[in-house]
Structure 1
Amino acid sequence: MGEHPDTALVRQGYEAFNKGDEQTLRSLLTADCVHHSPGSSQISGHFKGQDNVLGMYRRLWELTDGTMRVELDGVFPDGRGHAISVHKIYAERGDRGIEMRGGIFFTIIGGKISDLDECVADIEQVDEFWGTE
Structure 2
Amino acid sequence: MTNIDIAKSYIKAVQTGDQTTLGNLISPTVVWHQPGNNQFSGVKNGIAAFGTMFGAMMAVSGGTFAITQAHRYLANGDLVAIEIEFAGRRDGATLNQPGIDLLRIEAGKIVEVWLFSSDPAQEDAFWGN
- Whether TM-score is above 0.5 comes out as yes
Q: Which residue of 2 aligns with 1:118?
A: 115
Aligned residue among 21, 25, 30 for 1:24: 21
- Displacement, 1:89? 0.4
Matches within 5 A, 1:86-105: 86-105=83-102
Counting matched residue pairs gives: 128
Report sequence identity in percent.
Answer: 23
> What is the match of residue 5 of structure 1?
2
| Cα RMSD for the two superposed structures | 1.1
Distance 2:51 2:9 in 1: 15
Runs of 5+ consecutive residues of structure 2 not aligned to the other structure: none
**Structure 2 partner of 1:38:** 35
1:106 corresponds, among 88, 92, 103, to 103
Deviations 1:56-83 (A, max 9, x none): 11111111111111021111011x2111
The alignment status of 1:15 with 2:16, answered yes or no, reads no
1:31 to partner: Cα distance:
1.4
Q: What is the TM-score with the length of structure 2 in the denominator? A: 0.94
TM-score, structure 1 length as denominator? 0.91
Q: Tell me, in whole angstroms, the C-alpha distance in 2 between the residues paired with 1:34 and 1:126.
A: 21
Distance 2:71 2:22 in 1: 19
Runs of 4+ in 1 over 4 A off after TM superposition: none
